[in-house]
């Protein structure tokens, strides 16, 4: 069965391409390499023994997208990762984000809705909940006004998909609301490749340990949490990738209860920034240089998932520990920086 993975050269997309191929699916990747490189195909091939079909294509080009779907009328599903994802940049360049994250979604759904088999998985985010009132966060928690244009594209994206499914009952879609994906493949053949200064905690930690950054700034230690630092739900990227395969199978088997469904994908456990640092120090045997800095505006205090729906209905559960994920992230960083034991 042929599955389109948009953004399949990116962090989460590449790990999902691997899991799909290992589950027996034929993968076609579309990417414009705006935040990735074609060499990721080599890593996927080294892990699976199969080089996925690849189209260097910008999804903002509607005619090129239409032509792609005409050529691939035998597609059985689409997993749509391609998007811009830097929160700060989205505040400075909102139109770029609305174009890249929403126009592309529109073009794909326009072509998909006319197909006989129209199965669609969307990369959404826990950012739609903002600072939720109750922990852990269930899928029924209210969607809060978005803090950034990036967050808004995820909220509007979900609405576009919901409305499209309502108007086209033969379409089936699932939005997966990711919590905080971290880590890398156990082979260290693929992993996260942030451009410039990392916006996320874990690549910042590993780059600091690798000597690329002087020290890590911990933004605030006076939050109302047990150790005063912010709490997030860090999920291993391979567990997250597997959730996509299971969600796709749900649609292909017709096991879905409605033609549009939403699932949280997290571990169900929160970890503070200091706990993540301690985990890194445990698995690496290193001391990480860090200092406490001012709170950063826009940071929510805590966010971790209630995963009951994903566990019981989707039939998926995260398997890896925080230490597993940190170890894989460190092994990947060492590999790309050429750091030996
Ligand atoms: N990483 C996270 O923390 C996180 C959390 C929640 C949700 N998400 C969402 O998951 C998805 C994947 O995230 P990621 O971390 O793998 O990001 P990523 O940047 O590593 O991957 C996205 C890929 O899409 C490609 N792309 C972007 N615009 C494109 C376009 N117009 N045409 C073709 N390709 C295009 C990029 O080149 C890149 O390879 C995104 O939708 C993101 O918003 C990510």
* Cis peptide upstream of residue 136 (ω within 30 degrees of 0): yes
Please tell me the predicted confidence (pLDDT) of residue 340.
Answer: 84
260 is catalytic: no
Q: Is 286 in the pocket of ligand 1 (CB under 6 A)?
A: no
Pocket test for ligand 1, best of 35, 60, 103, 239 (most atoms within 8 A of CB): 35
pLDDT at 297: 85
Whether the full predicted model's pTM is greater than 0.85, yes or no, is: yes
| Contact (Cβ atoms closer than 8 angstroms) between residue 273 and residue 201 | yes
Atom of ligand 1 nearest to the CA of 36: 39
Q: For ligand 1, is residue 259 a contact (CB within 6 Å)? A: no
Strand 231-232 with 271-272, pairing: antiparallel
Residue 158 Cβ inside 6 Å of ligand 1? The answer reads no
Q: Dihedral through CA 270, CA 147, CA 220, CA 183, nearest 10?
A: 40
Residue 7 Cα to ligand 1 middle (Å): 6
148 CB near ligand 1 (under 6 Å): no
* CB half-sphere exposure, 269, CA atoms < 13 A: 12
Q: What is the mean pLDDT of the segment spanning 190-197?
A: 93
Exactly one of 25, 107, 150, 234 is catalytic; which is it?
150
pLDDT of residue 29: 98
Question: In angstroms, what is the span from residue 1 Cα to ligand 1's centroid?
Answer: 24
Cβ–ligand 1 contact at 12 (below 6 Å)? yes
pLDDT in tens, 28-79: 999 999 999 999 999 999 999 999 999 999 999 999 999 999 999 999 999 9
Beta-strand ranges (E) seen in the chain are 2-6, 26-31, 53-56, 75-80, 118-125, 171-178, 180-182, 216-219, 231-232, 234-236, 260-265, 271-272, 290-293, 302-303
Helix 273-284 to helix 201-209 angle (10° resolution) is 40
User: What is the pLDDT averaged over residues 205-225?
Assistant: 97
């Amino acid at each position: 069965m042929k599955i389109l993975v948009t953004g399949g050269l990116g962090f989460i997309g590449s790990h999902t391409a691997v899991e799909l191929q290992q589950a027996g699916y034929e993968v076609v990747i579309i990417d414009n390499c705006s935040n990735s490189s074609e060499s990721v195909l080599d890593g996927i091939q080294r892990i699976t023994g199969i080089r996925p079909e690849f189209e260097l294509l910008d999804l903002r080009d509607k005619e090129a997208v239409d032509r792609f779907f005409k050529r691939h009328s035998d597609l059985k599903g689409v997993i749509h990762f391609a998007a811009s994802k830097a929160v700060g940049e989205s505040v400075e360049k909102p139109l770029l984000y609305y174009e890249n994250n929403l126009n592309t979604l529109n073009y794909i759904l326009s072509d998909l809705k006319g197909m006989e088999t129209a199965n669609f998985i969307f990369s959404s985010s826990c950012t739609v909940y903002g600072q939720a009132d109750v922990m852990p966060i269930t899928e029924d928690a209210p969607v809060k006004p978005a803090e950034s244009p990036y967050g808004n594209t995820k909220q509007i994206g979900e609405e576009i998909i919901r409305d499209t499914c309502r108007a086209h009952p033969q379409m089936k879609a699932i939005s997966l609301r990711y919590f905080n994906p971290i880590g890398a493949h156990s082979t260290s053949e693929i992993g996260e490749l942030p451009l410039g200064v990392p916006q996320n905690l874990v690549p910042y930690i590993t780059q600091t340990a690798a000597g690329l950054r002087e020290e890590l700034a911990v933004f605030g230690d006076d939050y109302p949490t047990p150790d005063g630092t912010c709490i997030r739900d860090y999920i291993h990227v391979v567990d997250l990738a597997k959730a996509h395969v299971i969600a796709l199978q749900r649609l292909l088997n017709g096991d879905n209860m409605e033609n549009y469904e939403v699932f949280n994908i997290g571990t169900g456990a929160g970890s503070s920034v200091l706990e993540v640092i301690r985990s890194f120090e445990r698995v690496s045997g290193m001391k990480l240089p860090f200092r406490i800095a001012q709170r950063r505006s826009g940071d929510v205090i805590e966010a971790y998932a209630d995963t009951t729906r994903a566990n019981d209905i989707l039939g998926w559960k995260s398997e890896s520990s925080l230490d597993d994920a940190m170890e894989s992230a460190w092994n990947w960083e060492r590999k790309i920086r050429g750091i030996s034991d």
